[in-house]
Structure 1
Amino acid sequence: MVAVSSWGRLSRDEHEVRFLSDAAPFAAQLRSGTPGLARGLGRSYGDVCLNPGGVLWQTTALDRFLAFDEATGRLVCDAGMRLRDIQRMAIPRGWILPVTPGTQMVTVGGAIANDVHGKNHHAVGSFGDHVRRLSLVRTDGSVIECGPDLAPQWFAATVGGLGLTGVITCAEIQLRRVAGPWLDTETIPYANLDEFFALADASEAEWEYTVSWIDCLSGKGRGLFMRANAAAAGTRPEPKARARTMPFTPPVSLVNGLSLRLFNTAYFQAHKRDGRALAHYESFFYPLDNLLEWNRMYGPKGFYQYQSVVPRAAGRDAVQAMLKEIARSGDGSFLAVLKTFGDRASPGMLSFAQPGVTLALDFPNHGERTHALFERLDAVVREAGGRIYMAKDARMPRALFEAGYPRLHEFLGYRDPGISSALSRRLMGA
């Protein structure tokens, strides 16, 4: 048994870890006396990637490129392949992953199971929108091949299905053409939420990538709106990024009311005049990937991330109400993210993204005080008709989950009874 944590480091639970490989039939490797769960790089913040007391099928050894058509951009790879490795292979050949989350240290299987989104949902949707086929191995030994036009209900249950329908072993993904690794970017300061929404509305037609940093303690919601498009082809020197590591876990969280106010003020002042610039895709898409083990800064008790999405009609008032509660609590995040989702349906029954606006923040774990804040935020999300992102969640009430995911009952018919997680037991009872 091995102690395993998620990225939020809220617990260290004992698991039996088994590494999957292609040296033996997958069905034989999944036989277990207790329920198991596939796990990739463990970048989920909460308990969706944990199975305390049970088995974890570690997929990171399944990391091969199986086929790549350089003429069409069709990629077939193992589910344990890192998104970083796909990007570094594909971009020099004129292709790019259409969608990536805020870190490239995620496996393909994890990206599908959580139907991750990026900074361009309004333009291209979520990760699952670009998966053409996947292979799913069930714990009863059956293998299901599915895609948008092949066993589409199995596909819809598995995309965003939290790893609960079977173990994804490989996938076929459609990449997108790109001229190179560079982006034309623009940073625009905004003073309040009205200005944010005006910028978002004005940008979506002509800019593929849009996102904003928001000062969660400012009261009015000031921030920095960032937008980008792929740059034209050209030869430029690659940036020499140097990875740094948070070298230790401090005895208390370094994120507190004083450090937040100082950082947020300094960050806004430092970047409000950035304007137009040329940026490498790694620095724009994955700003924290060069600070290894950054999750240690929250101290030994770990941290939560709270990410919600609410419909656009209620978006301004709901975000303002959440920011008010956060400012009143004195807690919050250095990198609070506010962005809009496009008006498009998601591919998965339990996909998170829906038309509206999403706010994501990290919170140090202060026990009951933090949970009391979350209860107030939950009330705002529930009233607005929103939902919480399960890839980030470690404490959502079951009633809010059921209200936010109306296709849950349909999804339950596709669950694999030999698979379970801490999240599924908390929110689905098994």
Structure 2
Amino acid sequence: MLTTKISGWGRYPVQSCELARPERYADLGPHAESMIARGQGRSYGDAALNENGRVILTERVNRLLELDAAQGILRAEAGATLAEILRVIVPKGWFLPVTPGTKFVSLGGCVAADVHGKNHHHEGSFGEHVVNLEIILAGGVRTRCSPTEHAELFWATVGGMGLTGIIGEVTLKLIPIQSPIIQVRHHVAESLEQMFRLMQDATTDDRYTVAWIDSMARGTRLGRGVVMCGHHASKDELPSHLHRHSKAESSLTIPFDFPSWMLNSLSISAFNALYYQKEGSKSKSFLSSYAPYFYPLDSIGAWNRMYGKRGFVQYQCVIPDNNSFNGIKALLQKLSNSRRPSFLAVLKRLGAASKGLLSFPMAGYTLALDLPIRDEGLFALLNELDEIVLHHGGRVYLAKDARLSTESFRAMYPRYEEWLKIKNKVDPENKFSSSLSRRLGIGSEAV
């Protein structure tokens, strides 16, 4: 085993952890006093860190075990990545039922974070498509669970941030597709009011919907942006040369850390204005390979280096439907007035809440912001954003978080005590813990 300093994708915080990299889960040996599984390290904050404790790297436990190509059922080890899965299933006419914004994440990580995608308003979150799981509990016992077998453990694990045990295998129900091509439509919104109207219309009609927002716009232009809708193209919608093949992804790697001064309010305002001008001339429709539509940043290697050596925080929250417009407006106003630029500001509509006890989604709108760390003032701003989210009945996404307080977590996740009772049953000594769980006070305390 190796002790070294690691971070999440946001490169903050950086902590010293003991790394174990098993070829098989049987190679783990005696369980440590404190451990957490880590797939591809794409959670942004400290969810897959365990300062001065053990981190189980699952990247080598990544076999695709079985694919029923007739029924669309996949069984795979939890270390398998979505990229590896897509390479196998797409040529056979299948696709992931839910996918986050990168394919370089592990199957187990998708379950542990109960990830959502551009289609949550139609398909829900990842856990709702899991047929069953194999979990390695604190005593080393392997247990299979599903929505009908050991359902308590299943829904505590889906969205449970790896704190109930190590996810060993996942069986997943896929969706059929006729081609790897997405029919995309872009619509321009000149204000937040228009953005919400377009999102409402789009999520009624389209399987996939996401919006880019100009986070630096103010006044009557606050919330302006581009709504990007899509669906899997049928063969009838495609030119003949696209029936079987799609354009290969281009690739670019960021070779060094950008200087901190490069991403500032002036440069990001200029970029946003240019992008809005480019996209805002007219609404348009076009065909795209699935990769650039679902995973636009995957073609840029090490894109997190754009934020400089100090890293960045991705702040993602959801505001429930009844307060969504006022809540999102208040967040954008606070951000715009702070003059702290967000290079990326993304809005999605979410459907009904997951059954996962610590799952993030609820019916409403989710806003994600990438904020470079320049000084401690950022964290004061994030605390103010937390207050706005709480006031409007929302919550922050744990898979992206690096700094939420215990008090805010408890207020945002009302089913925590229900989850904790199950955690106490399966892990009474709290062996599965992480830097995130300790920061948020998530443990085996009595309830």
Range into which the TM-score falls when normalised by the shorter chain: over 0.9
2: distance between equivalents of 1:254 and 1:354? 36
Q: Please identify, of 45-54 and 413-422, the stretch whose mean Cα deviation from structure 2 is larger.
A: 413-422
Unaligned runs of 5+ in 1: none
2: distance between equivalents of 1:205 and 1:123? 9
**2:251 corresponds to which residue?**
243
Tell whether 2:162 aligns with 1:160. no
**2:94 corresponds to which residue?**
95
The question of whether the paired residues in 1 share the 8 Å contact of 2:188 and 2:283 is answered with no
Tell whether 2:217 aligns with 1:232. no
**2:409 corresponds to which residue?**
401
2: distance between equivalents of 1:82 and 1:25? 21
**2:336 corresponds to which residue?**
327
The question of whether the paired residues in 1 share the 8 Å contact of 2:13 and 2:402 is answered with no
Q: Aligned to 1:316, what secondary structure does the other structure show?
A: helix
**2:439 corresponds to which residue?**
426
2: distance between equivalents of 1:109 and 1:394? 20
Q: Which residue identity does 1:382 align to in structure 2? A: L
Q: Which residue identity does 2:50 align to in structure 1? A: N
When the two chains are superposed, the root-mean-square deviation of aligned CA atoms in Å is 1.3
The question of whether the paired residues in 1 share the 8 Å contact of 2:58 and 2:78 is answered with yes
1: distance between equivalents of 2:261 and 2:29? 39
**1:210 corresponds to which residue?**
209
The question of whether the paired residues in 1 share the 8 Å contact of 2:260 and 2:374 is answered with no
* Cα 1:276/1:382, change in 2 over 3 Å: same
Kindly report which structure 2 residues correspond to 1:257-406, keeping only aligned pairs within 5 A, or say none.
Answer: 257-272=265-280, 273=282, 275-342=284-351, 344-406=352-414
Q: Which residue identity does 1:395 align to in structure 2? A: R
User: How much has 1:274 moved relative to structure 2?
Assistant: 5.2
2: distance between equivalents of 1:251 and 1:337? 24
Q: Please identify, of 60-69 and 240-249, the stretch whose mean Cα deviation from structure 2 is larger.
A: 240-249
* Cα 1:88/1:321, change in 2 over 3 Å: same
Q: Which residue identity does 2:4 align to in structure 1? A: V
**2:26 corresponds to which residue?**
25
User: How much has 1:429 moved relative to structure 2?
Assistant: 5.0
**2:146 corresponds to which residue?**
147
Q: Which residue identity does 1:72 align to in structure 2? A: Q
Q: Which residue identity does 2:253 align to in structure 1? A: T
2: distance between equivalents of 1:288 and 1:254? 19
How many residue pairs match? The answer is: 426
1: distance between equivalents of 2:182 and 2:250? 20
Tell whether 2:110 aligns with 1:131. no
Tell whether 2:21 aligns with 1:2. no
Unaligned runs of 5+ in 2: none
Tell whether 2:264 aligns with 1:256. yes
**2:177 corresponds to which residue?**
178
Q: Spell out, residue by residue over 1:137-184, the C-alpha distance to the aligned partner (whole angstroms, 9 max, x if none).
A: 012122221011111110000000000000001010000000111011
User: How much has 1:345 moved relative to structure 2?
Assistant: 2.9
Q: Spell out, residue by residue over 1:382-410, the C-alpha distance to the aligned partner (whole angstroms, 9 max, x if none).
A: 10010000000000111111111111001
Tell whether 2:36 aligns with 1:37. yes
User: How much has 1:305 moved relative to structure 2?
Assistant: 0.6
Q: Spell out, residue by residue over 1:13-66, the C-alpha distance to the aligned partner (whole angstroms, 9 max, x if none).
A: 1111111222x626xx15244301100000011010100111011000011111
2: distance between equivalents of 1:30 and 1:186? 52
The question of whether the paired residues in 1 share the 8 Å contact of 2:181 and 2:246 is answered with no
Q: Please identify, of 11-20 and 352-361, the stretch whose mean Cα deviation from structure 2 is larger.
A: 11-20
Q: Which residue identity does 2:7 align to in structure 1? A: S
Q: Which residue identity does 2:193 align to in structure 1? A: D
The question of whether the paired residues in 1 share the 8 Å contact of 2:13 and 2:46 is answered with no
**1:121 corresponds to which residue?**
120
1: distance between equivalents of 2:15 and 2:34? 15
1: distance between equivalents of 2:115 and 2:261? 28
User: How much has 1:332 moved relative to structure 2?
Assistant: 2.7
Tell whether 2:53 aligns with 1:46. no
**1:11 corresponds to which residue?**
13
Q: Spell out, residue by residue over 1:57-104, the C-alpha distance to the aligned partner (whole angstroms, 9 max, x if none).
A: 100001111110010000000000000111121111010001000000
The question of whether the paired residues in 2 share the 8 Å contact of 1:213 and 1:337 is answered with yes
Q: Please identify, of 202-211 and 388-397, the stretch whose mean Cα deviation from structure 2 is larger.
A: 202-211
Q: Spell out, residue by residue over 1:100-154, the C-alpha distance to the aligned partner (whole angstroms, 9 max, x if none).
A: 0000000000000000000000110011010011000012122221011111110
Q: Which residue identity does 1:351 align to in structure 2? A: S
* Cα 1:159/1:33, change in 2 over 3 Å: closer
User: How much has 1:367 moved relative to structure 2?
Assistant: 2.8
The question of whether the paired residues in 2 share the 8 Å contact of 1:30 and 1:139 is answered with no
The question of whether the paired residues in 2 share the 8 Å contact of 1:350 and 1:407 is answered with yes
1: distance between equivalents of 2:437 and 2:94? 36
* Cα 1:414/1:384, change in 2 over 3 Å: same
Q: Please identify, of 267-276 and 352-361, the stretch whose mean Cα deviation from structure 2 is larger.
A: 267-276
Q: Which residue identity does 1:25 align to in structure 2? A: A
Q: Aligned to 1:16, what secondary structure does the other structure show?
A: strand
User: How much has 1:12 moved relative to structure 2?
Assistant: 2.5
1: distance between equivalents of 2:29 and 2:267? 47
Q: Spell out, residue by residue over 1:349-393, the C-alpha distance to the aligned partner (whole angstroms, 9 max, x if none).
A: 000010011100000112321011112111110100100000000
The question of whether the paired residues in 2 share the 8 Å contact of 1:253 and 1:297 is answered with no
